[in-house]
Amino acid sequence: MTKKIYFMKKQFYSHLITLEVIRVEMNELHLSEKEKEELLKLAESHVHHVMLDEALSRIKGDDKKIFLQHVHLAEHDKALALLRKHSQNIEMHLLHAAHVLLEELRDDIRELKKNKE
């Protein structure tokens, strides 16, 4: 069973994170679809930065370089396997970092909603 949602481009963390909460939060701002898309792309860029930071922070030594190669070549499974080698609960760490970021972005939107009211 599937559901239609805004989905980020495939990355090593794609199975963990969606921007659906941000898209839904934006609905009440009456942004045009094009504006929403541009903002979601910005949010996606934020997520990518934070995920790379979290991942590289968990990897030691030259494996950081191998990891970047995997990301560069879109070898998502290999990138994730390498991460798991360095951090058994890497998904939990990635989820936590993404959660903090997405809450910040939601707060930005909620602030605008308050002003709207």
Partner 1 sequence: MSQNGYAQHYDYLKNKWTDKEQQLNKKLWKKHKEALDWFVHQSKHITASSLGSLILLTATPGLQSATVLPAVRQTSQFAQIDHSTFLISDLYGKLPSNIVPLSQEQKERIAAILSNRFGLPVRSELQGVQLNTNYGLIGEEQHLARYPGDTMNSQLPIADDAAKYWSSGMAPGLGAWGYFASSSATMTDTDVAREKWYIAVQTFLSPGYYTNVAQYNAFFKYRKILVVNPQNGKAVVSDIADAGPSEWTGKSLGGSPEVMSYLERVDGAAKGPVLYFFIDDPNDTVPLGPISVK
Binding site for partner 1 (CB under 8 A): 1-11, 15-16, 18, 29-32, 35, 37-46, 48-50, 52-53, 56-57, 64-65, 68-69, 71-74, 81, 84-85, 88-89, 91-92, 95-96, 99, 105, 108-109, 112, 116
Q: Cα–Cα distance between 9 and 40 in angstroms, integer?
A: 12
- Residue of 105, 99, 104 lying closest to 51 (CA atoms): 99
Q: Closest distance between partner 1 and the C-beta of residue 113, in Å?
A: 9
User: d(Cα 87, Cα 4) in Å, to the nearest integer?
Assistant: 32
Whole-angstrom distance, CA of residue 41 vs CA of residue 2:
23
Least Å distance, CB 27 to partner 1, is 12
The least CB distance from residue 101 to partner 1, in Å, is 9
